Chain A
Amino acid sequence: MRRLLALVLLMQALNGGLANAAAKKLVLVVADPFLEMHSGPGRGFPVVYVIGRDELVTVLYSRTDWFKVRAATGNEGWVRRADLARTLLETGEPAPIPPYPEFASHRWELGAGYGVYNRENLVTTYVDFGLTTSLDVELAVQQAFGTLDNRYVASIGVRHTFIPEWKWFSPTAGIGTAYQYVQDKVPPAPLQKSNEMAYVSLGARGFITRRFLWRVDWRHYVVFNNLNVYEDLEEWKFGLAVFF
């Protein structure tokens, strides 16, 4: 039954793909004296064809900063974003080449990094969604590797960016809740294998280039357990992220 369901879903996906393949492509007019087409999407690839002024060019798809285009003659090649942005629509308006997402007001962020959690090595991945330019929701999944145990931590919280328009360095602070699962490596087994936690965080973020940014974060966790004393944990991490 499950296989059948998978097959149907696959067929649906393929069907959708085929239907989309027939969609219209963007046609642009070259406004510069010429437009250079490279053999590949990168500066290491040679120019293989040149399209003259007032000639039409069809945009097929993009990869990073390069656009695969087709000339009226049928020749295909890759054009730089900056070059293609200087072409025009057939109506004479500027070409609708999407600019980079604005760093200060980006919505989505996807990142990973290294950290130290409870004096253990930590691998962290996170997704971040901006509710406003200064307030976002962060969802993180982390794995810590210790000598006595391994810990898996999932957390959700809100974070405030104090001055989002500061591009290179902007301080942040946040609060949230987390869940920890402890997998013991050597006996004795921990008294509690899983805990709920709450945290406060302080950090900073900064723009690197294009769609890249860095983040550092310090977190203080309070671990809720059945014992009479609360356990406190500390975490440091550094991450790289892509924003959309």
Chain B
Amino acid sequence: MEIRLSCILLAAVVLSGCSWFHRGHKAPPEIVAEQPQGEPSIIEPQVTRRVVKTPHIKAKDFELGAYYGALSIQDFGTNPLYGVRAAYHVSEDIFLEGFLARSKAGTTSLEDVFPDITVLSDSGRRFTYYDLDVGYNVLPGEIFLGRGRAFNSALYVTVGMGDVKFADKDQFALNFGVGERLLITDWLAVHVDVRDHIFETSLTGRTKNVDNIEATLGLTVFF
């Protein structure tokens, strides 16, 4: 099995190498002459139809990246957070975005004062969420850095919902955020985001809505 897989991989590498060498060659001719069919006639029409293929314009509406920052889990301190994000830009104003991130809760004040008490197990402290958001670019424009440098940027707001898994339980969570997208080049962007994840929990005794605010710095590429 191992040998067979190796063979397939080797073949794949070799074939990809072939296409590499082929790169320098010209594209196949785009003008195709129609061959006259059937009996030769007295008058041979000298008509060649040109089949013009117009090159396809590539759309770069997708954005993919990662982010890192701090998440303040209500009652459980502020902790590092890391995640991935993917967006699809529908128009110059509206975009749809998805987030997937993870953090780990610290200890509550109660646990700090009384070290014998543990509110959550180790796996329960894991804070994982996914979000599906709609975003709107509120303030698009240029940002100036010094005299000779301008960056395209946009301040945006997002609203969405998703799942927060905390204390080994999945909860329905709403989120509201505001962020700034700064384009270093046309395909590379830096994001600064603040987002609040709100969900209902009865972890500390009574049922309440908790706000979990994150501040993150991200890097994305457009493709």
Which A residues form the contact surface with B (CB < 8 A)?
1, 4-5, 8, 11-12, 15-16, 18-19, 22-26, 39-46, 59, 61-68, 89, 91, 96-98, 112, 114, 121, 123, 125, 143, 145, 150, 183, 185, 209-212, 240, 242
Contact = CB atoms under 8 A, between A and B. Distances in A.
Contacts of A24: 27, 55
Given A112-B132, A123-B172, A242-B96, 19 more contacts: A5-B5, A8-B9, A8-B16, A18-B20, A40-B142, A43-B92, A44-B141, A45-B140, A61-B59, A63-B60, A64-B90, A65-B92, A67-B57, A97-B57, A112-B96, A150-B170, A183-B170, A209-B91, A211-B90
Nearest to A24: B55
A25 B2 CA distance: 43
A45 B91 contact: no
A123 B142 CA distance: 36
A41 B90 contact: no
Interface string B152-185: 1010000001110000011110000000000100
Contact of A212 (B61, B90, B132, B137): B90
Contacts of A25: 55
Closest 7 pairs (CB-CB, A-B): A44-B140, A145-B172, A40-B152, A121-B172, A44-B141, A42-B92, A61-B58
Interface of B: 2, 5, 9, 12-13, 16, 19-20, 22-23, 27, 52, 54-55, 57-61, 88-92, 94, 96, 132, 134, 137, 139-142, 150, 152, 154, 161-163, 169-172, 183, 186, 222
B90 A62 contact: no
A114 B61 CA distance: 25
B141 A1 contact: no
A16 B12 CA distance: 13
Nearest to B24: A22
B91 A145 contact: no
Contacts of B58: 61-62
Nearest to A17: B223
A209 to B, nearest CB: 8
Best-surrounded residue of A64, A121, A242 (most CB of chain B within 10 A) = A64
A28 to B, nearest CB: 10
A45 B141 contact: yes
Best-surrounded residue of B2, B5, B91 (most CB of chain A within 10 A) = B91
B142 A114 contact: no
Best-surrounded residue of A63, A91, A150 (most CB of chain B within 10 A) = A63
A23 B26 CA distance: 10
Contacts of A64: 61, 89-92
Given A42-B154, A212-B94, A15 B19 contact: yes
22 contacts: A8-B12, A12-B12, A18-B20, A19-B20, A19-B23, A24-B55, A26-B57, A39-B142, A40-B183, A43-B92, A44-B141, A61-B58, A61-B59, A63-B60, A64-B89, A91-B52, A98-B57, A123-B132, A123-B161, A123-B163, A145-B172, A210-B90
A143 B169 CA distance: 13
A215 to B, nearest CB: 14
Given A1-B5, A19-B19, A42 B137 contact: yes
Nearest to B52: A91
Contacts of A121: 172
A146 B8 CA distance: 48
Given A18-B23, A112-B96, A63 B140 contact: no
Contacts of A46: 142
A65 B162 contact: no
A11 B27 contact: no
Best-surrounded residue of A65, A91, A123, A150 (most CB of chain B within 10 A) = A123
B57 A63 contact: no
Contacts of B13: 8, 11
A25 B58 CA distance: 10
B27 A242 contact: no
Contacts of A96: 54
Nearest to B96: A242
Given A40-B152, A44-B140, A112-B132, A23 B60 contact: no
